[in-house]
A and B are shown apart, each in its own frame.
Chain A
């Protein structure tokens, strides 16, 4: 256990110096905190270094730490199939949250990042197709943020929702979505059955 920690930590310290903070080992997972601008570099090191080989990305998770600042966090869980080690990388993000995409390192990051964008509004720069994944296109707001009411906002379809208008952030929900969001067959003009 301590051997793994020293291997991982030494290699990280060699390449990044003080930039990556070590958060210790708990419940079988080694945790590190990385600044967003070094994240992709760190992921590449962890995946490609022959002594580490974290080839499996388990999960990417968005967190809203409201009312703390910086408010958001992206958490990455990696697994090394050859070594059977687990690593957690935490990345604190200011509001509005932005972080480079790791889809170039692991393809599986694609849907995880779409989910974090959909639920928390974390923008993954360089993602090939950052669309909402669970909520429908045109939905306003990010439902898993702590300031979004559990039952949503009241409207004609949701009589039990919270009072008050939805937070006006249509620009966040629709702006700057890469052109990957293509029109679906339903909205196509030329329709034949």
Chain B
């Protein structure tokens, strides 16, 4: 597990100058996955931190070059596995831009609704996990209770709890199921009160406040320089949200606030996420109110499966097209696109170069967690080893996304 190694000490030097290298991880609960931090310790103080990543590297980008566009959706699920619908959405948008198509309005509402559910699910995890890292176990159990409700809702829509793969190029896989609206309305009614519960549980917890307030401060300039995005950057006072500033899908029809904090410490990052969950509930409610009837995917036989599955059984052309799409995929015009969305962790971008074939020539994932982890180099006022745990938890990296 955690292993301590002493460096060679030069002859004649005093005892108190000895530095210690400490391996935090790769198997350590507070690293939220397989991350290894090599810490150079000067007594209790952390003098230098050197993250070693790659333990979970699966070669997503290389694999994608041998998959058709539809086959890549399950790969994107496995990037940030806490909130797969956002990843699906980001990839679908990039391919749609290359094709020059747009999903029907109803499909866009369904995608946004699911992406916001995913945002709540991702933020819930860290809302509970950060206090747990710092010794307050209770919050996590409460957060998991509510997360289970979201899992149930996602299961109701997609049939899967974690790896949803629900987006398709040009829409979503199928329409919302019967009985979904009452269920999600119930969730929207219950959840804001539950957020209040977490706050009451944590806000007055003096140990939690002592260990997060004023600890691990990242200034706005450092945050931008280090490429932080999402709540991590907004907690430092940078008012930037891709949903508002470069609206995609139907975000320009929705009314929501961008949450910022000025302090830039661990507590501000935690608070930002809690507040964002409230905004997400508002977005979901608006989606439910505004969602029109209509098709859930584009009516383009060369790109999307027929919406009415029965046509495959009685029409020769539909059968051929269904087979063709499943077996060979569809061709995407030559070109390149960089498309970014506001994922729960920050700017999630897909850079796709197409050579006109059914498989991408190059797919690059701009993974927010990968970049956010570099925030470790920008923190100030995190002198103790124990502060590193708080900083790491508040940056909220998901290692599957860091390692791609």
Interface residues of A (CB under 8 A from B): 26-29, 55-59, 61, 63-64, 75, 77, 81, 84, 86, 88, 106-108, 110-112, 119, 132-136, 143-144, 150, 182, 184-185, 188-193
A-B contact pairs, 23 of them (CB 8 A): A26-B337, A58-B340, A58-B349, A59-B349, A61-B364, A63-B353, A84-B246, A106-B225, A107-B226, A107-B374, A108-B371, A111-B371, A112-B371, A133-B53, A133-B54, A134-B57, A144-B61, A150-B63, A185-B23, A188-B5, A190-B7, A191-B5, A193-B4
Give min CB distance, A81 to chain B, whole Å.
Answer: 6
| CB-based nearest A residue for B94 | A27
- Tell me whether B5 and A27 are in contact (CB under 8 A): no
How far, in whole Å, are A62 and B116 apart by their CA atoms in the complex?
Answer: 32
- Tell me whether A59 and B351 are in contact (CB under 8 A): yes
Interface residues of B (CB under 8 A from A): 3-8, 21-23, 38, 50, 52-54, 57, 59, 61-63, 66, 97-98, 224-227, 238, 240, 245-246, 335-340, 347, 349, 351, 353, 362, 364, 366, 370-371, 373-374, 377-378, 403-404
Residues in A neighbouring B339, C-beta threshold 8 A: 27
Residues in B neighbouring A134, C-beta threshold 8 A: 53-54, 57, 403-404
Give min CB distance, B96 to chain A, whole Å.
Answer: 10
Overall SS of chain A's interface = loop
How far, in whole Å, are A89 and B313 apart by their CA atoms in the complex?
Answer: 50
- Tell me whether A185 and B57 are in contact (CB under 8 A): no
Overall SS of chain B's interface = mixed
- A-B pairs, top 10 by smallest CB distance, nearest first, are A108-B227, A134-B54, A185-B5, A61-B364, A134-B57, A59-B366, A185-B21, A27-B337, A27-B97, A107-B225
Residues in A neighbouring B61, C-beta threshold 8 A: 119, 144
How far, in whole Å, are A63 and B351 apart by their CA atoms in the complex?
Answer: 11
- Tell me whether A136 and B54 are in contact (CB under 8 A): yes
Residues in B neighbouring A143, C-beta threshold 8 A: 59, 62
Known: A107-B377, A143-B59. A190 touches B5 (CB 8 A): yes
Known: A108-B371, A188-B7, A193-B4. A135 touches B347 (CB 8 A): no
Residues in B neighbouring A57, C-beta threshold 8 A: 227
- Tell me whether B362 and A108 are in contact (CB under 8 A): no
How far, in whole Å, are A83 and B344 apart by their CA atoms in the complex?
Answer: 23
Residues in A neighbouring B52, C-beta threshold 8 A: 184
How far, in whole Å, are A108 and B21 apart by their CA atoms in the complex?
Answer: 25
Residues in A neighbouring B377, C-beta threshold 8 A: 107
- Tell me whether A193 and B3 are in contact (CB under 8 A): yes
